[in-house]
Amino acid sequence: MKKLLSGILTAAMVLSLAACGGGSPQASGDTQGTQAGQSAAAAETAAGTEEIRHDKLTVATSGEPKNIDPYGQNEQIAQVPLTVVYEPLFKTNDDGEVIPWLATEWEWENDTTLSLTLRDDVYFHNGEKMTSEDVAFSLSRAATSSFSTALFNSIDEEGFEIIDDTHLKVHLKNPNAALMPALSIHRGAIISKKAYETDPEGFARNPVGTGPMKFVQWVTGDRLEFAINEDYWGEKIAYDNLVVRFITEASSRAIELESGGVDVAMEIGNADWERIESNPNTELLTGNTLTTTFLVLNSSKEPLNDIRVREALAYGINMKALVNTVWQGTSDVATSYYASTLLGHIDILPREYNVEKAKELLAEAGYPDGLTIKYYLYDSSVNTAVAEVLQSMWKEIGVTVDLQVSDVATFSEADDNGEITIAHMSTTAAAPDPNPALAIWPTSRTISLRHGDKHVDELLEKGMGTFDEAERAEVYKELQEYLYSKTYSIPVAYRRDAYGASASITNFPFYPNIVPDLTRIKFTK
Amino acid sequence: MLKYVIKRILVTIPVLLGVTFIIFSLMYITPGDPARMYLGEEASEEAVYELREEWGLNDSFGERYLSYMKGLAKGDFGISYVTGQPVTKEIISRVPTTAKMALLCIIFSVLIGVPIGILSAIKQYSLIDKLVTVLAMMGISFPTFWLALMLVLLFTVKLGWLPASGLYGPVYYILPVMSISADSISTLARMTRSSMLEVVRQDYIRTARAKGLDDTTVIFKHALRNAMIPILTTVGLQFVSGLSGTVVNEQIFAIPGVGKMMVDAIKARDYNLVQGGVLLIAIMCSVVNLGIDLLYAFVDPRIKSQYSKSKSKEKKAEVEVEA
C-alpha cells in the first residue's frame, strides 16, 4: 500500500514538474503564475503524505474564560485556546532557548532599549498587515494591563520608537532581564491595533491575531470554535478545525478523553492519572509546573511579627508527611521559593522537623504555654487537607489553629483588608524566569505577605537588572537565602500537573506553565 | 377565570419587587469584592478602586439600589461584571437549554412516576408495591452526582452507547435526563401512591364499585382525578426546581445551564447577573405556580367555582354538574 502510494506521488511530482517545465515561453505571466501555483500545490500534497491531517481537534478545558483578550485576563483556560489565534514575538524551543517568531531579530542596545526587527510577511485575520504599529500597540497594552503587571510593567507604555513597518525600538522604565522570557510566551501576544480600535468592547470576544487559526464563534457556556487560517505565513497546522469545550468536572474531562469524545483534556485530576496512563488509547503528559504552593505568614500582624513565632511554625511542620498526605505523591516537597527548573534555584528547604526547637522558640517569644492562631481557609479540597494536617502537626508544638473558613471572594476581601494571618496559597510563574516566579514578593504588592522589607525589593531589582546569567543566579541565590532567614512564608509543594491526549497525537510535550502550544500538534494516525 | 388570572399576575409585581430588594441587600452585605475577583491578585489597589468606581460600587446602598431599579424599569438588567456582556444576553443564552431539560425531565418523571405510583397503590402490599417502595427510597437517597457518574461509567465507558457530556443532539439528553429524573420519579411515585391510597378508601369509590363500574373507570375516572391535586403540586415544585437549574448535573454533563451560571456568578460576586438570574427564576416560579393553580381548576371543578365566585350563574351551573 505504502509503495503504491509513494509511486502515485512520485508520478504526481514528475507530472507537475513536467507541467512547469513545459509551459510555453509565449505564455502570459498569468498562466505562468497558475502553473507555478499548481506545481506548488502538487509539491505540497507530496510533502503532505508524511503528515496526517485531521478535520477536527477537540480540546476540553476546565472552564469558560471570562474573555479571550490576551490582555484582559490571566487565566490559563483562556490562554490555551489563544495559542492558535495569537502569536508572540518569540517562542522557545524544547531546550528553553528563545527562537525568532514574529520578530526575526532582536538586540539590546543598552539595558533599557530593545531593538526589534519584524517579519515582513505576516497578516492579521482581518487582512491587515502586521507592522511595528501593532507591536507597539500590543506591548503598550501589555505594560498597562493589570493582568500582566509582573511580566510587562517594566515596558514604558509611551516609549516606542517606530522606525519603519518592520523595525522598532522598545524602551523600558527599568532594566529587565526577564523581558525576553516574557515575550516568548503567549502572554505577549501581538494583536491587531485596527481591530481593537474599531471595537474595543467587542474585541474581548472576537480575537484578531496572526496565528494559524481564526476565531469562528463562542457558544456561551459550551465551547469556542476556530478554523484554519489559509493565509498563514508559517507551517500549516495539522488540523482544519479546533473546538475547545468547557468541561468543569475533572472526572468528566477524563471520561471524555477515554471515550474519544475529546482529543486533549487539560488538568487531569490526580485520581484519574493512573487510568489515563495505563489506557492504550490515551497518553498522560505530566511534569513539574512553575507553581509553588506556600503558607502566607503575615508578618505585619501579631503574633507573626515575631520572627521566632514564624520560625517555630516552620520547625513544627513535617513537610514530607504533609505533602505526601495532601497530594498523594503527585507533587513534590518545595526545596526553595520557586520552581527548581528556573535560573538560580538552590535547595534550601524543607526546614528540619524539630518539635523541641519549635517549642523553645515559642517559649523565647513569650508563649511557653502555646498560643492560638487564626488560619484562613478558602474552600478547596487541597486547602482543607493542608489545614487539617497542619492543625494536628502544630498541636504538637502547642499551637492551636483557629480555622476561618469562607469562599474565595470573602477570603480575598479579608486578604485585601490585611486580616489574613496564615493561609495556604499558590503562585505560578507566568514565564519561565525567577522574576515572574517571585511576583508575590515586591512590597508594592499590597496583599497577602505584607512583609514590608525593602531589602527584598532591592534584591529583586538587582536580579531584574543583571543580564549576565551567572551573576544573576548569584543574586537570586542571595535572595532565597535571605527569604529563608526571614521566614515570611513557608513554601510547601512544587506542583506537578498533567493533561491527557489521545494516543494518536504527537509532538505535544508537557509545558510547565500548563499552556501547551496547540499549534505544534501532529498526528500519527 | 380571566379576572382571576389578571389578579394573580398583578399580585406577582410586589412579590418581584420584594425579591429584587432582598437579593440586592443580601449581595450588598455579603463580603467579597467583584472588582478584586475580576482583576485577580496581581492588580494594584488603585486598579481595583478604579474598577469599583467604574461599576458604581463605591456609591451608597441607596444610590446603587435606585440606579439598579431605574435600569430595571427600562428593561436594563445591567452588565455582567465577569464577561462584560449584558445580563439579559447571558441569561437568554442559557434559559432555552435549562427549560428544555426541565420540561423533558418533568415529562419523563410524570410518564414513569405516576403510573408506577398508581400500580403500587392498587396492588398495595404486593411484591410490586414493595419493589416500587424500595426503588423509590433508593432514587431519593442516591446523590444525583453519584448516579450521574455511574450512568456515564456504564453507558459511555463500559458500553460505549451514549456520549459522556455536552448537548449536541437528541442522544445527548438521555443520560442527564435519566440522572436528574431519578429523584423526581421517586418523589412522584411515592406521592401518587399515598394520594391514591387515601382516595381509594373513600365512600364514593366504594359506591362506584358497588354500582358495577369496571376497575379502569373507577381508578382513572374517580380515584385518580381526586388524587390529582397533591400530585400536581409535586409536579409543579419539581418543575420549578428543574427550571432553576441543576448545578451538579450541569457540571458533570457540561451543560450550559442556568444553575451553573448562577453558582459561578455568586462565586465571582457578579451582582447584576445574580440579581437578574434570581429575578428570572422568581418570574418562572410565579408563572409555573399560576399554571398549576389553573390546572387545579381543570381537574377539580370545585376549585374552579371558587375562582369565579362572583359569577353566580357559572357557579350554579358547576354545582349542577357536580351533583
- For residue A50, the distance in angstroms to the closest alpha carbon of chain B comes to 32
The partner residue sitting opposite A146, judged by closest CB among B47, B82, B93, is B47
Q: What is the pLDDT of residue A302?
A: 87
Q: Give the cell for residue A434.
A: 525567577
Residue-wise pLDDT for B79-136, tens only, equals 999 998 999 999 999 989 999 999 999 999 999 999 999 999 888 889 989 999 999 9
Q: What is the pTM of this model?
A: 0.85
Suggest the residue from B36, B41, B175, B263 to mutate for an interface test with chain A (most A CBs closer than 10 A).
Answer: B41
Complete DSSP assignment for A83-136:
TTT---SEEE-TTS-EEESSEEEEEEEETTEEEEEE-SS-B-TTSPBP-HHHHH
CB-CB neighbors (< 8 A) of B252 in chain A:
249, 251-252
The partner residue sitting opposite A446, judged by closest CB among B45, B97, B251, is B45
Residue B27: name the closest of B304, B313, B267, B287 by CA. Answer: B267
Q: Is the ipTM of this complex over 0.95?
A: no
d(CA B298, CA B311): 17
Q: Do A432 and A471 meet the contact criterion of CB atoms below 8 Å apart? A: no
Look at B256 and A221 and tell me if their CB atoms are within 8 Å.
Answer: yes
Residue-wise pLDDT for B192-212, tens only, equals 999 999 888 888 888 888 888
Look at A221 and B36 and tell me if their CB atoms are within 8 Å.
Answer: no
Instruction: Report residue B242's pLDDT band, with 50, 70 and 90 as the boundaries.
Output: confident
The partner residue sitting opposite B40, judged by closest CB among A147, A259, A406, is A147
The partner residue sitting opposite A252, judged by closest CB among B43, B85, B165, is B165
Please state the rounded mean pLDDT for residues B238-256.
Answer: 86
Q: What is the pLDDT of residue A5?
A: 45
Residues 6 or more apart in contact with residue A122 via CB below 8 angstroms: A102, A129, A130, A210, A233
CB-CB neighbors (< 8 A) of B32 in chain A:
407, 409-410, 412-413
Residue A421: name the closest of A402, A436, A408 by CA. Answer: A402
Kindly list the residues of chain A whose beta carbon comes within 8 Å of any beta carbon in chain B.
Answer: 66-67, 74, 146-150, 201, 204-205, 219-222, 245-249, 251-252, 255-256, 258-259, 261, 406-410, 412-414, 416, 439-440, 444, 446-448
Look at A245 and B254 and tell me if their CB atoms are within 8 Å.
Answer: yes
For chain B, give the number of residues: 323
Residue-wise pLDDT for B24-76, tens only, equals 999 999 889 999 889 988 788 888 999 999 999 999 999 999 999 999 989 89
Residue A116: name the closest of A103, A134, A102, A129 by CA. Answer: A103
Residues 6 or more apart in contact with residue A242 via CB below 8 angstroms: A56, A57, A58, A59, A81, A84, A213, A225, A226, A227, A518
Look at A439 and B164 and tell me if their CB atoms are within 8 Å.
Answer: no
Look at A408 and B267 and tell me if their CB atoms are within 8 Å.
Answer: yes
- Considering only alpha carbons, which residue of chain A is nearest residue B43? A146
- For residue A400, the distance in angstroms to the closest alpha carbon of chain B comes to 26
The single-letter DSSP state of residue B73 is: H
d(CA A304, CA A423): 12
Q: Give the cell for residue A182.
A: 516574557
How many CB atoms within 10 Å of residue B213? 15
The partner residue sitting opposite A248, judged by closest CB among B34, B167, B254, is B254
CB-CB neighbors (< 8 A) of B257 in chain A:
221
At position A130, the amino acid (one-letter code) is M
Q: What is the pLDDT of residue A355?
A: 94
Region for A450 from its dihedrals, namely left if φ exceeds 0, alpha if ψ lies in -120 to 50, beta otherwise: left
d(CA B283, CA B280): 5
3-state secondary structure (DSSP) of residue A90: strand
d(CA B120, CA B197): 9
d(CA A34, CA A13): 16
d(CA A143, CA A176): 13
Residues 6 or more apart in contact with residue A280 via CB below 8 angstroms: A503
The single-letter DSSP state of residue A112 is: T
Q: Give how far the C-alpha of residue A108 lies from the chain's centroid of Cα atoms, to the nearest Å.
A: 25
- For residue A355, the distance in angstroms to the closest alpha carbon of chain B comes to 34
CB-CB neighbors (< 8 A) of A418 in chain B:
none
- For residue A145, the distance in angstroms to the closest alpha carbon of chain B comes to 9
DSSP E strand boundaries for A248-366:
264-265, 282-297, 331-333
The tens-digit pLDDT sequence of chain A (525 residues) is: 444 444 444 444 444 443 443 333 333 333 333 333 444 444 444 444 568 999 999 999 999 999 999 999 988 999 999 999 999 999 998 888 899 999 999 999 999 999 999 999 999 999 999 999 999 999 999 999 988 888 898 999 898 999 999 999 999 999 999 999 999 998 999 999 999 999 998 999 999 999 999 999 999 999 999 999 999 999 999 999 999 999 999 999 999 999 999 999 999 998 899 999 999 999 999 999 999 999 999 999 888 999 999 999 999 999 999 999 999 888 999 999 999 999 999 999 899 999 999 999 999 999 999 899 999 998 788 999 999 999 999 999 999 999 999 999 999 889 988 899 999 999 999 889 999 999 999 988 878 889 989 999 999 999 999 999 999 999 999 999 999 999 999 999 999 999 999 999 999 999 998 899 999 999 998
